Amino acid sequence: MEKTSTSVWNSCLEIIKDNIPAQSFKTWFEPISALRLEGNVLTIQVPSLFFYEWLEEHYVGLLRKTVKKQLGENGRLEYNIVVEKSSKNIPYTTNMPSNGNGAEGKRQSIPVPVSLNKDIKNPFVIPGLKKLQVDPQLNQNYTFDNFIEGDCNRLARSAGYAVASKPGGTSFNPLMIYGGVGLGKTHLAQAIGNEVKRNMPDKLVIYVSCEKFCQQFVDSLKNNTINDFVNFYQAMDVIIMDDVHNFAGKDKTQDIFFHIFNHLHQSGKQIILTSDKAPKDLAGLEERLLSRFKWGLSADMQVPDLETRMAILKKKMYADGIDLPYEVVEYVANNIDNNVRELEGAMVSLLAQATLNKKEIDLNLAKSMLKNFIKNSHKEISIDYIQKLVCEYFEVPVEMVKSKTRKREIVQARQISMYLAKNHTKTSLKSIGAFFGGRDHSTVIYACQTVEDLIDTDKKFKAYVQDIQKKLKMS
Ligand code: ADP
Ligand code: MG
């Protein structure tokens, strides 16, 4: 019986089917059709460039083997990629050796534009729209206007602003904003999106949390709509992905995002990422994706200082049309010092309780009302707070414990602070050192030993430390 493209491909499929999970077969091989057979070259048609890349990356070995089994040692596979808009197909050749001497056939790299005229299925679903229009999924309340600038976020904010004015046109691509919980990463990332939309309404902007993206990917696998899923994201001008640390352990989704990332980056589109850790500390992410994250700029968000916390509270009060006495605002800002979300939360709960009780809020009322709140928010004591407390106790300026000074009373305050930081926070010795003007971990170990020795031998010293510890627990 004479071989046809279909018969050869069907024989290949039988082998492939036995070698990969059913779901993968369904997703990646069922949509392929055999196009022609010329001599020992089999041409198959794949639905998109992305499909082709995926096959080459994940199944090239299997494809090579099966094609050779059917067509002999010189058997070759060529791809034909469907370009949706123009119906012009672009041939690709596999990087299989073409003449048995091991020389890799070169792959043509013709950029294939994703067509925007064809209906791209939008996982966020806006039915009935002809031209691709996308609800950017942004929260309008997060703007640059109401984002307070401080030392803690200056770099991230100004890089964000630069990106918003020229998406894809700066070297900050990707822009990675990282920092602890509740420090304004989402706010800033969304402010960039809102700013782009304000100045350039035609730009396609999408905000998506990493979790949602992962979920959409799983759904698209289930529904056999991977192509639509990838096409949608590849059509964007600006993608904002929040909390990329959630990619940890999700290898398949990382793979897909890697492709989307490359496509967007190559086409000069802007990528904005947020994460709770610096790229170098992100665990469970593929190295190749991580290295991409490091291409642009990583800007961290720190805990805001007192002045910035006050400014944030004032701005919030102004926006909500409320007025609290200065000393109350100061009290709240002073006592909730490690998380802006909790800061705002405390103020809201204060207001709510005051309305319920129909009382004016004065400092005493605030103190008693916020007791629980503050205790809770301090179950994790910050090093900043320890430094502040110790320095207040010994009446020395906080900057001094971070300086190089070897003055006796400063050294004492510094060592006690390090000791307390080790015993009352979960911070590593290395990070504790960093908080004290970039000292190394052996300095911290030495400080802790010194303090322990002195507690054993010096009654007065012991009383100091106990005193401070009491204050620490009360706060
Ligand atoms: P993250 O994403 O880092 O966990 P969010 O962006 O959700 O933090 O911020 C938590 C809350 O704090 C939000 O209501 C946000 O508006 C507010 N916030 C954080 N930083 C600032 C800031 N610099 N100025 C104004 N509001 C801020
Ligand atoms: Mg967030």
pLDDT 10s digits, 407-416 = 998 999 999 9
Model pLDDT for residues 243-255, shown as the tens digit of each residue: 999 998 898 999 9
Q: What stretch(es) of the chain map to CATH 1.10.8.60?
A: 306-369
Q: Provide, rounded to the nearest whole percent, the portion of the chain with pLDDT above 70.
A: 87
What six digits make up the tokens of 27? 């997703």
pLDDT at 83 (0 to 100): 65
Q: How far apart are CA 475 and CA 472, in angstroms?
A: 5
**Options 2.40.37.10, 3.50.50.60, 3.30.300.180, 3.40.50.2300; CATH of 5-94:** 3.30.300.180
Task: Give 57: exposed, middle or buried? Use CB within 10 Å, 0-12, 13-18, 19+.
Answer: exposed
- The predicted model scores a pTM of 0.65
In which band, very low, low, confident or very high, does the pLDDT at 106 lie, cut at 50, 70 and 90?
A: very low
Question: What are phi and psi for residue 215, nearest 5 degrees?
Answer: -65, -45
pLDDT at 139 (0 to 100): 96
Model pLDDT for residues 267-318, shown as the tens digit of each residue: 999 999 999 999 988 888 999 999 999 999 999 999 999 999 999 999 988 8
Model pLDDT for residues 330-341, shown as the tens digit of each residue: 889 988 888 899
Q: Is 185 annotated as a binding residue?
A: yes
Q: Has residue 356 got a pLDDT over 70?
A: yes
Q: What is the CATH number of domain 383-474?
A: 1.10.1750.10
Residue closest via CA to ligand 1's atom 26 equals 147
The rounded Å distance from CA 311 to ligand 1 centre is 13
Q: What is the position in ligand 1's atom list of the atom closest to the CA of 149?
A: 23
pLDDT at 90 (0 to 100): 44
Averaged pLDDT, 45-57: 84
Q: How far apart are CA 121 and CA 132, in angstroms?
A: 9
pLDDT at 123 (0 to 100): 65
Model pLDDT for residues 153-170, shown as the tens digit of each residue: 999 999 999 999 999 999
Averaged pLDDT, 408-437: 92
Q: What stretch(es) of the chain map to CATH 3.40.50.300?
A: 154-301
The rounded Å distance from CA 339 to ligand 1 centre is 9
Is there an atom of ligand 1 within 6 Å of 330 CB? Answer: no
361 or 387: whose pLDDT is higher?
Answer: 387
Q: What stretch(es) of the chain map to CATH 3.30.300.180?
A: 5-94
The rounded Å distance from CA 341 to ligand 1 centre is 6
Residue closest via CA to ligand 1's atom 14 equals 341
* Cross-strand pairs, 274: 177
Q: What stretch(es) of the chain map to CATH 1.10.1750.10?
A: 383-474
- Helix and strand counts by DSSP (H, E) for the chain: 19, 9
- Give the strand pairing for 238-242 and 205-209: parallel
Averaged pLDDT, 57-68: 89
What six digits make up the tokens of 373? 């709140």
pLDDT at 337 (0 to 100): 83
108 or 357: whose pLDDT is higher?
Answer: 357
The rounded Å distance from CA 88 to ligand 1 centre is 48
Least confident of 30-39, 41-50, 94-103, 368-377: 94-103
Query: In the CATH hierarchy, which top-level class contains the domain 154-301?
Result: alpha beta
CA separation (Å) from 202 to 9, 134, 184, 394? Answer: 44, 10, 27, 59
* Cross-strand pairs, 36: 43
Q: Has residue 115 got a pLDDT over 50?
A: no
**Ligand 1 mutation target, pool 300, 308, 320, 340, most atoms within 8 A of CB:** 340
Is there an atom of ligand 1 within 6 Å of 153 CB? Answer: yes
pLDDT at 135 (0 to 100): 93
Q: Chain-wide mean pLDDT for the chain?
A: 85
pLDDT at 175 (0 to 100): 96
Q: Has residue 142 got a pLDDT over 90?
A: yes
Is there an atom of ligand 1 within 6 Å of 303 CB? Answer: no
* Cross-strand pairs, 207: 240
Residue closest via CA to ligand 1's atom 11 equals 341
86: helix, strand or coil = coil
DSSP annotation of 128 reads: T
**Options 3.30.365.10, 3.40.50.2300, 3.10.580.10, 1.10.8.60; CATH of 306-369:** 1.10.8.60
Q: How far apart are CA 65 and CA 58, in angstroms?
A: 13
